[in-house]
Chain A
Amino acid sequence: MSGVAVAAVVVVVVAALAQPDAGVSDLVVRIAELLLAGGAAYLLDDAAVVLTTVTPVGLWRRRLPQLVVGVAVLAVAWIVILAVLWRQDSLPPWPVNVELAVLCLVALAAAAVLAARDEAEPGGLVAPAIGLLGIGALIADLIVAAELFVPRDGSGGDGVRLAWACLGGLALLVIVVASRDPGHVGPLRATTARRRSAASHTEGRTD
């Protein structure tokens, strides 16, 4: 994952050095975004899932350290990229940060779905898929001239921003649903479970 983050920074730095006066193109920034989003797909990987699932620690508790470190690495990489872009006077508008966050959420959502289907390392499948999907969207953006990404000049694009926000919300929902811990019993379920347990206990006595 850190290799992907480094690659994203390298791509932007090389582009900035290659044409110091022209600024970094939107294509390069989007490629860096795709790399970082692909990197996010590896955050739910757990090669030892067979062993870790039998521990009494909850799913999110197990994922938390890797998620925190991974998000920190991605955030640092993005900050470095923004710093390079700022030096080149080609800093993108703030909705681009939301665009990246949504791409990361989509990657995490896909990884969470695969993880729920007992895939130990979903990142290996999701990351290239995110790359292909993003490149496909970039090509479609060029050919069809349909606005799929947030406009860089900050003008218009309210519909696109709304679509990205909806996509982010949907991805968040998928992450929550796909990451339900089968071993965890919530407060509502706990009451029901206690009643059932008590009922079966009473039945056992009368028998």
Chain B
Amino acid sequence: MSAAISHHPEAPTVEHGSALRALARAEAKRFARHPLFLLGLAIILVAMAGSLVQQDVGANPMFGTLFIAFLIGVFGFIVAHRLTTSMLRTRDLTTTTPVSRQQRTLALCLACWVPAAAGVVVAVFMVVTAAIWEPVGDPVTAHVAWFRDDPAVDVLATLVAMGPVAALGGPLLGVAVARWAPFRGSALIGVVTLVFLTAMPSEAEAHWRALSAWPLLVDEYINDGGGPVVRSSFVPGVEPIWEMFFLLCLCGLAAVAALLRDPGHRRELLGAGAALTVGAVGFFLLAVA
């Protein structure tokens, strides 16, 4: 009787760039077709249609970023988490493919540009509608956090930071959480913690609010008797442009954290992580200086 020992064959290697591109495209398609992502988009579309019918932007034109952050960013967290854990649920299949797990994680991170792009589209819609129906306060001369009363750089940086960057950061964090904590319940704990940590009360000091992953950079005011918002203004003591770069560094750190779960390219990733950490600290200090 003879016994043949067959070693588990190493996965064949393929060209990194093309495989990664193909994988990122596939993951992007999966992201775009995920029912939860589509549900978030559908709700946003209803809200956009409502604003078109209403033909009024109100005194806080940044209000729409809440929809982007929650319906694309937070929903995207769950979508990215599900897509990432699906890689673990089908471990038998994924280990036979000629790409490493780190490449798959990178592809998932690249696929997070789908929600970011959706966030950009909604932000552009906000700019266009506000250009058609100019946001005004009550009275008309009241300050409104938009192009008429504030520098364009501040307005655009705030719009990007609270909109598309949030739509990018949530899913990236979802990938990182799923890679490091793939246990049942981590999606629920992650999403609730994310909202809990970002929900800074409006009474909080400016630097605490700037530290949040979704900083409220605009204050809105209502009359004493309640009712609609009558004016809005940027939070004093926070520079929106630096805050935006700070948040982008946090997004980068989430991606690096996700990739660090696997042993490959450890030195490069640690270097990138260190640079992003220094960048985040620097931009934060500039933002609250």
Residue ranges of A at the interface with B (Cβ–Cβ < 8 Å): 1, 3-4, 7, 11, 27-28, 31, 34-35, 38-39, 42, 45, 121, 123-124, 127-128, 130-132, 135-136, 139, 143
Tell me the nearest residue of chain A to B71, going by C-beta: A136
What are the residues of chain A within 8 A of B85 when measuring CB–CB?
A: 124
Residues of chain A with a CB closer than 8 A to B124's CB? none
B87 touches A (CB below 8 Å): no
Query: Chain B's nearest CB lies how many Å from the CB of A119?
Result: 13
Cβ contacts under 8 Å, A27 to chain B: 196, 199
Which residues of B are found within 8 Å of A31, using beta-carbon distances?
Answer: 192, 195-196
Known interface pairs A3-B183, A136-B70. Does A131 touch B188 (Cβ–Cβ under 8 Å)? yes
Query: Which residues of the partner chain B approach A39 to less than 8 Å between Cβ atoms?
Result: 185, 188
Most chain B CB within 10 A, of A121, A128, A135, A136, is at A128
Contacts of B187 in A (CB 8 A): 124, 127-128, 131
Q: Taking the nearest CB of chain B, how far is it from the CB of A123, in angstroms?
A: 6
A48 to B136, CA, bound (A): 60
Do the beta carbons of A3 and B185 come within 8 Å of each other? yes
- Establish whether residues A35 and B189, one from each chain, have CB atoms under 8 Å apart when the complex forms: yes
Report which of B81, B183, B188 forms a contact with A35, defined as CB distance below 8 A.
B188
Question: When the two chains form their complex, are residues A11 and B196 in contact, meaning their CB atoms are under 8 A apart?
Answer: yes
Contacts of B186 in A (CB 8 A): 3
- When chains A and B are docked, how far (Å) is the Cα of A192 from the Cα of B113? 60
Cβ of B147 to closest chain A Cβ, rounded Å = 24
Whole-angstrom distance between the Cβ of B243 and the nearest chain A Cβ: 22
Find chain B residues with CB under 8 A from A7 CB. Answer: 185, 189, 192-193
Check if A127 sits within 8 Å of B70, measured CB to CB.
no
Contact assessment for B191 and A135 in the assembled complex, using a CB-CB cutoff below 8 Å = yes
CB distance from A74 to the nearest CB of B (A): 13
A42 touches B191 (CB 8 A): no
Residues of A contacting B196 with CB < 8 Å? 11, 27-28, 31
**A4, A35, A132: which has the most chain B beta carbons within 10 Å?**
A132
Query: DSSP class of B's interface residues: helix, strand, loop or mixed?
Result: helix
- Residues 169-205 of chain B: 1 if any A CB is under 8 Å from the residue's CB, otherwise 0? 0000000000000011111110111011001000000
Within 8 Å of chain A (Cβ to Cβ): is B246?
no
Q: How far is the CA of A127 from the CA of B192 in the complex (A)?
A: 11
* Nearest CB in chain B to that of A37: its residue: B188
Q: Is there a chain A Cβ closer than 8 Å to B75's Cβ?
A: yes
Q: Are B70 and A135 in contact (CB under 8 A)?
A: yes
* A163 to B188 alpha-carbon distance, docked (Å): 25
A135 lies within 8 A of B195 (CB): yes
Q: Which of A1, A28, A139: most chain B Cβ within 10 A? A: A139
CA distance A34 to B199 in the complex (A): 16
Interface residues in B10-53 by Cβ distance below 8 A to A read 36
In the complex where A27-B199, A132-B78, A139-B70 touch, is A3 in contact with B192 (Cβ < 8 A)?
no
Question: At the interface, yes or no: B74 with Cβ under 8 Å from chain A?
Answer: yes
Closest to B39 in A: A132
Is B192 a contact of A135 with CB atoms below 8 Å? yes
Inter-chain contacts of B66 with A (CB < 8 A): 139, 143
Q: Could you give 27 example pairs across A and B, Cβ below 8 Å? A: A3-B183, A3-B189, A4-B188, A4-B189, A7-B185, A7-B193, A11-B193, A31-B196, A34-B192, A35-B192, A38-B185, A42-B184, A42-B185, A121-B184, A127-B185, A127-B188, A128-B187, A128-B191, A130-B188, A131-B187, A131-B188, A131-B191, A132-B74, A135-B70, A135-B74, A135-B192, A139-B70
A31: shortest Cβ distance to chain B, in Å?
5
The contact of B188 among A28, A38, A121, A136, by CB within 8 Å, is: A38
